[in-house]
Amino acid sequence: MSTASATDTADVAQVVEEPEGGRLRGLARLQVLQIVLLLFVTVAVFSILRPDTFLTLFNFRGILQNTSILAVLGVGMTFVIITGGIDLSIGSVLVFSGVVADKVMAAQGGQGWGTVLLGAGVAVLSGLAWGLLNGFLVAKGKVAPLIVTLGSLSAALGFAQIITGGLDLRDAPRKLVDKIGFGNVAGQVPTLAVIAALVVVGGMILLHRTRFGLYTYAVGSNAEAGRRVGVNVDRHLIKVYALAGLLAGFGGILNLAFFQSTTIGGQSNTALNVIAGVAIGGTSLFGGVGTVFGTVMGLFIPIVLQNGFIQINVQPFWQQVVVGAVLVAVVYIDQARRTAAVRGGSRPRLPFLSRSGSRTRKETE
Amino acid sequence: MTTPILEARGISKVYGHVEALSGTNFDLYPGEVTALIGDNGAGKSTLVRILSGAEQATAGEILFEGKPVHLHSPTDASRLGMETVFQDLALAPHLSPVQNMYLGREVMARGLLGHLGFMDKKRMREGSRSAFDRLGATVRNLGGPVGAMSGGQRQGIAVARAAAWAEKVVFLDEPTAALGVVQTKNVIELIRRVSAEGIGVVFISHSMPHVMEVADRIQVMWRGRRVVTYRKEDTSMEQLVAAMTGALERVAS
Ligand SMILES: Nc1ncnc2c1ncn2[C@@H]1O[C@H](COP(=O)(O)OP(=O)(O)OP(=O)(O)O)[C@@H](O)[C@H]1O
Ligand SMILES: [Mg+2]
């Protein structure tokens, strides 16, 4: 070896190694930290203003319950958005799955666990089917995710209304409502929250520890780079949309448990609320960056605000205004930092507006 | 002479109205370094993309170890032992050097965990570090995103990745374009080392001194075709420059 490369190797050896980190990921973490802080401050302010009603176990249980279903949906949405996609259909898929599950459970009869399990299975499979359809159209049909899922948003709700004639069904078995919708684990912890926590932890492990998670980031970062090293990008996209659909279907049975109704007319904003939570939580709509933990934090903010506003007698509608402002502010700050961190290249177009994997990020400057 | 490890015959490639390659030939022998040179737009990158499976030829034939092969994807080429550093590098900017190094070739954890999709991050880390050290690439942060690194660092990662996985052939499309003096020396060292292991190296560069330093043979392209092949000892920079600018063709026609 020449002296030049010997010195250079020495050079490499002496540089400090930062095990995990780096500026982009550091930024993502910084943003999550920011949101945790914001959440903490919000909770603190309301607690000081209304220590008697806000800062109570009863109230916190309510907040947890209200966030649970959104968190389950948020896990799937985080994966989709990291691939550079979007899924507008999850609210409708949730309704559709709830309707089909309700029908099946009513036909089966019975109020026990057997019926509940059957219903849950049916809901999950219905959601999975919609997710597979979304994924297939995005990956193989090369239709923009925004359009595909806008289509299934409309179609899934339409089917739900055709099946029910537009009237909500209310055939949730007693066990489902009592044990899951309003049940508690270990005395005071809502079962719904425990189930959501399990899904969230599962999602974190899947995203950060497994090959599935790595491919999710890779597809969102540079699909062409993945393809060239043998990652089956299309198949992975299908799996990711399938996961989002499956979780929306699971949300359908949880929704039935909590509201004892299929809430056909009540889910038109669900997907948008979840997307807002994902974005507030630091997942980039440009793909390649994001965390499940951030999403959960991002979802808590609107719920806590709404809850708190009611208690301090501010019209709860202000929550929507504040959340809108927070969303834009957070994403603005995030983008400004990111642009400063990654040199070169113009801002890419939002990927979910274009065909999947059609873009290659230029590596050369 | 032995059979070429890789040979292309009459390769054409048409993009819409542009004929990027018009029936070009190419050959590479085991353990040799061949430089592929030519003016901007001569078709070098296009030829490399076709030979490495990233794109398909409009017409022509590719032979690997004397047998015709069809390369439908870069994975097909990888399976034959061919690796490529593309001109656009093809790294995922949000992933770390380690993740880029092992993307598509993850080392899975042992036993049940591995079947569940868990990876052995420690082994991938160590593998990457030794690959980067071998190249002397100044990768400071094995865990940080590649997108935040300098052009030269990224190029170092792409070159190290190709060299680490190649068994028969490495394509390097302008691998030193963004590199510093020391790193360029290292890449040239690496090319020598790789070819000494019996691997054929295709080296594309606009730097004639580097070409003359490392290549055994030099194939010159002009307007989508290979116009001439020289052995290094039989040629000079002047002759190469003349061939690249189409002087030979003008004499011939
Ligand atoms: N994807 C594409 N679509 C249309 N035309 C293309 C495409 N890729 C290459 N070309 C054209 O094919 C010709 C050869 O391009 P190529 O990139 O192979 O040249 P090159 O020899 O690698 O040049 P350079 O030294 O500048 O890298 C050029 O005229 C180019 O415009
Ligand atoms: Mg080129």
Q: Residues of chain A with pLDDT > 90: what percent? A: 72
* Cα separation, A207 vs A64, whole angstroms: 23
A107 Cα–ligand 1 center, Å: 64
Report whether residue B41 contacts ligand 1, using a CB cutoff of 6 Å. Answer: yes
Phi/psi of residue B103, each to 5°? -55, 130
* Cα separation, A345 vs A306, whole angstroms: 40
Residue A229 contacts B, CB cutoff 8 Å: yes
Chain B residue whose CA is closest to A360? B90
Count other Cβ atoms within 10 Å, centred on residue B233: 6
Average pLDDT over residues B214-236: 93
Q: Output A349-354 pairs: Cβ under 8 A, ≥24 positions apart.
A: A350/A285, A350/A286, A351/A84, A351/A85, A351/A220, A351/A286, A351/A287, A352/A84, A352/A85, A352/A86, A352/A144, A352/A145, A352/A146, A352/A285, A353/A144, A353/A146, A354/A144
Average pLDDT over residues A67-76: 98
> Would you call A88 helix, strand, or coil by DSSP?
coil
Average pLDDT over residues B37-63: 94
Chain A residue whose CA is closest to B179? A364
pTM for the predicted model, two decimal places = 0.87
pLDDT on residue B253: 45
CATH 3.40.50.300 assigned to B6-95+150-244 = yes
What is the value of ipTM here, to two decimals?
0.84
Residue B76 contacts A, CB cutoff 8 Å: no
Residue A2 contacts B, CB cutoff 8 Å: yes
Q: Is A363 part of a structural domain of the chain?
A: no
Query: What does A339-350 look like in DSSP terms, one character per residue?
Result: HHHS-SSPPPPP
**Minimum-distance ligand 1 atom for the alpha carbon of B206:** 25
A263 Cα–ligand 2 center, Å: 58
In the structure, ligand 2 is a single-atom ion and the residues with CB under 5 Å from it are: B 45, 87
Query: CA end-to-end span of chain B, whole Å?
Result: 31
> What's the alpha-carbon Rg for chain A, to the nearest Å?
22
CATH number at residue A112: 1.10.3470
Are A68 and A247 a contacting pair, CB within 8 Å?
Answer: no
Positive or negative CA dihedral for A244, A246, A249, A254? negative
Predicted confidence band of residue B181 (pLDDT cuts 50, 70, 90) = confident
Instruction: Give the best residue of B52, B73, B94 to mutate against chain A (max A CB count within 10 A).
Output: B94
Query: What does A19-55 look like in DSSP terms, one character per residue?
Result: SS--HHHHHHHHHHHHHHHHHHHHHHHHHHH-TTTTS
Cα–Cα distances in angstroms (integers) from residue A49 to residues A53, A55, A214, A242, A311, in the given order:
9, 9, 44, 44, 9
Report whether residue B49 contacts ligand 1, using a CB cutoff of 6 Å. Answer: no
* Cα separation, A73 vs A85, whole angstroms: 15
From the list B74, B119, B154, the residue facing A228 with the nearest CB is: B74
> Would you call B230 helix, strand, or coil by DSSP?
strand
* pLDDT tens-place string over residues B56-93: 999 999 999 999 999 998 889 999 999 999 888 789 99
Tell me the two tokens of residue A233.
């990008």
Residue B8: strand pairing partners: B26, B62
CA A62-A65-A67 angle, to 5 degrees, is: 110
Query: CB-based burial of residue A99 (10 Å sphere; 0-12 exposed, 13-18 middle, 19+ buried)?
Result: buried
Residue B109 contacts A, CB cutoff 8 Å: no
Q: Is A110 part of a structural domain of the chain?
A: yes
Count how many pairs of residues, chain A against chain B, have C-beta atoms within 8 Å: 156
Nearest CA residue ID for atom 5, ligand 1: B15
* Cα separation, A91 vs A247, whole angstroms: 11
Report whether residue B44 contacts ligand 1, using a CB cutoff of 6 Å. Answer: yes
Mean pLDDT of all residues belonging to chain B:
90
pLDDT on residue A342: 55
Most confident region among A111-115, A247-251, B236-240 by mean pLDDT: A247-251
Beta strand segments in chain A, E: 184-185, 189-190
Most confident region among A151-165, A182-196, B198-212 by mean pLDDT: A151-165
Which residues in chain B have their CB less than 8 angstroms from residue A5's CB? Answer: 136, 182, 185-186, 189
Which structural domain range is residue A27 located in?
Answer: 3-353
**Minimum-distance ligand 1 atom for the alpha carbon of B174:** 27
Q: What's the domain count of chain A?
A: 1
B47 Cα–ligand 2 center, Å: 9
pLDDT over 50 (residue A18): no
A288 Cα–ligand 1 center, Å: 29
**Minimum-distance ligand 1 atom for the alpha carbon of B48:** 18
Count other Cβ atoms within 10 Å, centred on residue A244: 33
pLDDT on residue B217: 96
The H-or-E segment that residue B93 falls in is none
Report whether residue B37 contacts ligand 1, using a CB cutoff of 6 Å. Answer: no
Residue scoring higher pLDDT (B92 or B248): B92
Q: Is A169 part of a structural domain of the chain?
A: yes
Residue scoring higher pLDDT (A284 or A340): A284
- B225-231: strand order across its sheet: B82-85, B169-173, B200-204, B33-38, B217-222, B225-231
Ranges A13-17, A232-236, A259-263, A314-318: which has the least confidence: A13-17
Residue B219: strand pairing partners: B36, B229
Q: Do B96 and A364 touch (CB under 8 A)?
A: no
Residues 1-30 of chain B with CB under 8 A from chain A are: none
**Tokens 């049975």 sit on residue:** A253
pLDDT on residue B152: 79
B167 Cα–ligand 2 center, Å: 24
pLDDT on residue A365: 30
Query: CA end-to-end span of chain A, whole Å?
Result: 31
Considering only CA atoms, which of A38, A84, A85, A75 is closest in space to residue A304?
A38
Q: Residues of chain A with pLDDT > 70: what percent? A: 85
pLDDT on residue A4: 36
Q: Is A358 part of a structural domain of the chain?
A: no
